[in-house]
A and B are shown apart, each in its own frame.
Chain A
Amino acid sequence: MTTDLYIHKSDQVYDAIVVGSGISGGWAAKEFCERGMQTLMIERGRVVEHRKDYVTEGKGPWEFANRTKVDNLLVEEKHSVQKKCYAFSDMTKHFFGNDKDLPYTTKEGTGFDWIRANQLGGKSLLWHRQSYRLSDFDFSANKADGHGNDWPIRYKDIESWYSHVEKFAGISGSQENLEQLPNSEFLPPFEMTAPELHVKDKIAEHFPGRQLIMGRTAHLTEPTQLHIEQGRVTCQARNECQKGCSFGAYFSTQSSTLPAAAKTGNLSIAPNSVVHSLIYDEKTQRVKGVRVVDNDNLSTREYFAKVVFLCASTLGSAQIMLNTKTKTFPNGIANSSGVLGHYLMDHNYNAGATGTVEGFDDVYYSGRRPSGILVPNFQYKPSLYKKGYVRGYGLAGGSHRDSWQGLGYQNGIGADFKTHLTKPGKWKLGLHAQGEMLPRFDNYMALHPTKTDKWGIPLIHIDCTWSENEKLMMADAEQTAFDMLTKAGLKDIQSYNSIEKNNPGLAIHEVGTARMGHDPKESVLNGFNQCHDVANLFVTDGSSFCSTAVQNPSLTFMALTARAVDYCVSEMKARRI
């Protein structure tokens, strides 16, 4: 990577501006650059260089002042929200947002936990890497049961784009030929442990229609030439991915799309550039560029391009659009429908069960698998819905042998206890629900009427709550997970349902604020992620989703983005944009 990759000021009219450098932004930049387009990627945060800036990588827990826990004062001052993320620790905190600088408000009595990663690479450095295709059941779910609007696309529209991004990113997984979870272009799957294989058989025996499969994850289990060319090598099973991975073994902007984009010579990056709003030309009815506030010194500048791709996250992209008020669009650009900011959704990860698998004392595992097991959604069409609520959930999980972390609470003092702590304990296996959240107009984000952040941008105000459907689903999921583990022969099963305790947001799968649709009166984007109202403005991150499905969404961000760029470039060539 050369230093002239980074720009500060520029009068150049680029072919494309991509706002954001996470999973979607990285893909947009790569696809534009590889089509010969002069591309400017705008990132609000600092530069994070692959390898060089993974400052905690390879360090043992004893090398951290508080053994990987974050100091109370620092948490209180800077990370009051971020601390709720499972991956937040002293080893990873430099990749999480500073909550003090990034305030937002929620309606009184509600909450929304917004996890931020404002640096080059965004959340692609921190993501959980689970990668699944949506199926036609997902794309037609809204139409089938009447919740939300119909997705304007179907599986056949995106299938080849899934293949395109999967081959490049590298997705490990197993061919299962499930109608609700299409196969990807797979690298070999990670192995299951012996108790997982046992439970897999038991579930197949007792629960027809439910399968336990290996999780699908963006890790190079066996790199292809395409990955080697990116400078990436085989996953070493450290499972310390969120520190950054110099092996480039998991997909991130830094490991994969950014070097590919940079290699073309068509990429420029404007870091530390907080996009305030879009510049709209009333005459041509097109966007011309973006207004930027400097992240550090708050000075302002503008960048210009023929097209703008918003890949600034589900809340971030909608914030930029709502903050772009023009004569034509007094309520936010491309918002003639009035749905911009609405239909905010997240996944519902609030129920599950864990138990002890007896036996298997003579087996252990080696390495730390950066993935888990999955029972794909088995309520994926109306005929399979349970009584009382609609849609379904998958069950994700894993197994391990108990270690000092659990055993430390057992009774015992002295040498024997110490020895006991150093031996692998009983096998534990858990299944945890990943539930769908319905699209509802009432769940929304808007701009705060008076409060602004340090860059002078109105704060986001969120009103988003679980509905009765989500609550009923989690109650059922808790019981179902308990029943499945019981039938599988597990003992000491503990189940939980935390929906009354947890706000939406923590699944970090927020989607839906600028949804696609056939009808411009009820949606912001068309089936190519292009704004109905502004032909050269695209939004290709999670904002565009019409429903959550149950699958982790990032792979679909990638595929939608690559497809949108392909469409955009052909429209530019045909001079329709």
Chain B
Amino acid sequence: MPTNSNKSELANHTLDEENRRVFMKKMVALFGATTASAVLSGCSVSATNQLATQTDTAPKNGKLLSEHQMTVLYSICETILPKTDTPSAVEVGCHEFVPNQLQHCHSQQQQNDCIQIINSVDRVAKETFSMTFPLLQPQQQQQILLEIENNQSAIKTHKEHFKFLKALIVFGYFTSEAGATQALNFQAVPGGFVGSIPADANTKSWGSQAYY
């Protein structure tokens, strides 16, 4: 565990508590308070870590992802497109969009690739920081994903699967109402076509496309 090795007990404890709160928040958002507190009740972070791993079993009720995979995906969404002056990917529901879209509009192979890369992200997190991905600090999460994208992760992963998942999250974000109309400039009825208008560094892309 390269980054935690020289931390004091107290620092570790503080980090654990903070992560626990963050994780709790995510679990509540994802599965509701009951499941979240059942997972976390009386647990230290390491126990949570273990529990989280244990929940990584076959998904239930015809769902594509297990609860733990959902928490990892949730954190991946938040890391790739975080909240800025516009909503984050999670705020527009990308973590729910991705499994739904995979199940309805993508091949079995693509579904498997995405499950695999979600698992890989978590494995790399554990290998690198000895902690499940959702519990890492934002900059650690960003580091993990950048390493995967640049083929530099601690264990071998499939960069192209990650790229596919990332593109799907991006698609989900910019086809959401907030993504299309707040992050981008949406023209429902442009009123006509103008071949050249001035543009500068602040110009936003059009959020309205003929085809997606």
| Chain A residues proximal to chain B, CB less than 8 Å | 58, 60-62, 65-73, 86-87, 89, 190-194, 196-197, 234-240, 361-370, 401, 403-405, 408-409, 411, 413-415, 417-419, 421-425
Q: CA–CA, A413 to B79, complex, Å?
A: 7
Q: CA–CA, A61 to B209, complex, Å?
A: 9
With a cutoff of 8 Å between Cβ atoms, the chain B residues found around residue A58 in the complex are 188
Q: CA–CA, A67 to B171, complex, Å?
A: 9
Can you list, as one digit per residue, whether each of B162-201 has a CB less than 8 Å from chain A (1) or not (0)? 0100110011111111001101101111111111111111
- A-B residue pairs, 8 tightest by C-beta: A191-B195, A367-B190, A408-B170, A367-B193, A364-B199, A237-B193, A239-B210, A61-B175
CB <8 Å contact, B176 and A62 = yes
For the complex formed, measure the closest distance between the CB of B102 and the CB atoms of chain A, giving whole angstroms.
10
Query: Residue of B at shortest CB range from A243?
Result: B210
With a cutoff of 8 Å between Cβ atoms, the chain B residues found around residue A408 in the complex are 166-167, 170-171
B116 at the interface (CB under 8 A from A): no
For the complex formed, measure the closest distance between the CB of A369 and the CB atoms of chain B, giving whole angstroms.
4
> Are A366 and B187 also in contact (CB < 8 A) when A71-B105, A194-B195, A422-B204 are?
yes
Q: CA–CA, A422 to B149, complex, Å?
A: 21
With a cutoff of 8 Å between Cβ atoms, the chain B residues found around residue A425 in the complex are 205
With a cutoff of 8 Å between Cβ atoms, the chain A residues found around residue B201 in the complex are 423
> Are A368 and B190 also in contact (CB < 8 A) when A361-B199, A413-B142 are?
yes
For the complex formed, measure the closest distance between the CB of A404 and the CB atoms of chain B, giving whole angstroms.
5
> Are A72 and B194 also in contact (CB < 8 A) when A86-B211, A414-B82 are?
no
Q: Residue among A62, A194, A234, A421 with the most chain B CB within 10 A?
A: A62
> Are A365 and B197 also in contact (CB < 8 A) when A66-B105, A234-B192 are?
yes
Q: CA–CA, A424 to B209, complex, Å?
A: 13
With a cutoff of 8 Å between Cβ atoms, the chain A residues found around residue B196 in the complex are 191, 193-194, 363-365
Q: Tell which of B100, B175, B187 touches A68, judged by Cβ atoms closer than 8 Å.
A: B175
B31 at the interface (CB under 8 A from A): no
With a cutoff of 8 Å between Cβ atoms, the chain B residues found around residue A192 in the complex are 195
B55 at the interface (CB under 8 A from A): no
| Chain B residues proximal to chain A, CB less than 8 Å | 79-82, 84, 86, 97, 100-101, 104-107, 142, 145-146, 149-150, 163, 166-167, 170-177, 180-181, 183-184, 186-201, 203-206, 208-212
Secondary structure at chain A's binding surface: helix, strand, loop or mixed?
Answer: loop
Q: CA–CA, A197 to B193, complex, Å?
A: 15
For the complex formed, measure the closest distance between the CB of B17 and the CB atoms of chain A, giving whole angstroms.
25
With a cutoff of 8 Å between Cβ atoms, the chain B residues found around residue A238 in the complex are 188-190, 210
With a cutoff of 8 Å between Cβ atoms, the chain B residues found around residue A418 in the complex are 80-82, 84, 86, 183
Q: Residue among B79, B194, B197 with the most chain A CB within 10 A?
A: B194
CB <8 Å contact, A415 and B84 = yes
CB <8 Å contact, B175 and A62 = yes
With a cutoff of 8 Å between Cβ atoms, the chain A residues found around residue B205 in the complex are 401, 403-404, 421-425
CB <8 Å contact, A61 and B81 = no
CB <8 Å contact, A62 and B209 = no
With a cutoff of 8 Å between Cβ atoms, the chain A residues found around residue B211 in the complex are 68, 86-87, 89
CB <8 Å contact, A413 and B80 = yes
**14 sample A-B contacts, Cβ–Cβ < 8 Å, listed by A number:** A67-B171, A71-B104, A73-B104, A194-B195, A194-B196, A236-B192, A237-B190, A363-B197, A364-B197, A367-B192, A414-B80, A418-B84, A423-B205, A424-B204
With a cutoff of 8 Å between Cβ atoms, the chain B residues found around residue A237 in the complex are 190-193
With a cutoff of 8 Å between Cβ atoms, the chain B residues found around residue A370 in the complex are 193
> Are A67 and B212 also in contact (CB < 8 A) when A237-B191, A403-B205, A404-B170 are?
yes
Q: Residue among B86, B106, B150, B211 with the most chain A CB within 10 A?
A: B211
With a cutoff of 8 Å between Cβ atoms, the chain B residues found around residue A61 in the complex are 175, 180, 212
With a cutoff of 8 Å between Cβ atoms, the chain B residues found around residue A87 in the complex are 211
Q: CA–CA, A492 to B185, complex, Å?
A: 28
CB <8 Å contact, B175 and A414 = no
Q: CA–CA, A224 to B183, complex, Å?
A: 39
CB <8 Å contact, A403 and B190 = no
CB <8 Å contact, B197 and A414 = no
For the complex formed, measure the closest distance between the CB of A389 and the CB atoms of chain B, giving whole angstroms.
33
With a cutoff of 8 Å between Cβ atoms, the chain B residues found around residue A403 in the complex are 205-206, 209
CB <8 Å contact, A415 and B82 = yes
CB <8 Å contact, A414 and B79 = yes
Q: CA–CA, A419 to B170, complex, Å?
A: 12
With a cutoff of 8 Å between Cβ atoms, the chain A residues found around residue B200 in the complex are 362
Query: Residue of B at shortest CB range from A239?
Result: B210
Q: CA–CA, A61 to B172, complex, Å?
A: 10
CB <8 Å contact, B191 and A367 = yes
> Are A362 and B175 also in contact (CB < 8 A) when A409-B163, A422-B183 are?
no
Query: Residue of B at shortest CB range from A416?
Result: B84
For the complex formed, measure the closest distance between the CB of B200 and the CB atoms of chain A, giving whole angstroms.
7
With a cutoff of 8 Å between Cβ atoms, the chain B residues found around residue A234 in the complex are 192
For the complex formed, measure the closest distance between the CB of B99 and the CB atoms of chain A, giving whole angstroms.
12
Q: CA–CA, A240 to B97, complex, Å?
A: 24
CB <8 Å contact, B177 and A60 = yes
With a cutoff of 8 Å between Cβ atoms, the chain B residues found around residue A89 in the complex are 211-212
CB <8 Å contact, A365 and B146 = no
Q: CA–CA, A417 to B89, complex, Å?
A: 13
For the complex formed, measure the closest distance between the CB of A19 and the CB atoms of chain B, giving whole angstroms.
32
With a cutoff of 8 Å between Cβ atoms, the chain A residues found around residue B84 in the complex are 415, 418-419
CB <8 Å contact, A424 and B203 = yes
Q: Tell which of A191, A194, A362, A367 touches B187, judged by Cβ atoms closer than 8 Å.
A: A367
Q: CA–CA, A361 to B173, complex, Å?
A: 25
CB <8 Å contact, A72 and B209 = no
CB <8 Å contact, A67 and B101 = yes
CB <8 Å contact, A369 and B193 = yes
With a cutoff of 8 Å between Cβ atoms, the chain A residues found around residue B171 in the complex are 67, 405, 408
Q: CA–CA, A363 to B86, complex, Å?
A: 25
Supplied contacts A65-B104, A362-B199, 9 more A-B pairs, CB within 8 Å: A61-B175, A61-B180, A66-B104, A191-B194, A363-B198, A403-B209, A408-B167, A413-B145, A423-B205
For the complex formed, measure the closest distance between the CB of A361 and the CB atoms of chain B, giving whole angstroms.
7
With a cutoff of 8 Å between Cβ atoms, the chain A residues found around residue B195 in the complex are 190-194, 196-197, 365, 369
Query: Residue of B at shortest CB range from A63?
Result: B177
Q: Residue among A71, A240, A414, A423 with the most chain B CB within 10 A?
A: A414
With a cutoff of 8 Å between Cβ atoms, the chain B residues found around residue A363 in the complex are 196-199
Q: Residue among B100, B171, B192, B193 with the most chain A CB within 10 A?
A: B193
For the complex formed, measure the closest distance between the CB of A158 and the CB atoms of chain B, giving whole angstroms.
31
Q: CA–CA, A190 to B181, complex, Å?
A: 26
Q: CA–CA, A86 to B210, complex, Å?
A: 11
CB <8 Å contact, A424 and B191 = no
Q: Residue among A369, A404, A408, A423 with the most chain B CB within 10 A?
A: A404
Query: Residue of A at shortest CB range from B105?
Result: A69
With a cutoff of 8 Å between Cβ atoms, the chain A residues found around residue B198 in the complex are 362-364
Q: CA–CA, A424 to B149, complex, Å?
A: 23
Query: Residue of A at shortest CB range from B174?
Result: A404
With a cutoff of 8 Å between Cβ atoms, the chain A residues found around residue B142 in the complex are 413-414
With a cutoff of 8 Å between Cβ atoms, the chain B residues found around residue A86 in the complex are 211
With a cutoff of 8 Å between Cβ atoms, the chain A residues found around residue B146 in the complex are 413
Q: CA–CA, A305 to B72, complex, Å?
A: 69
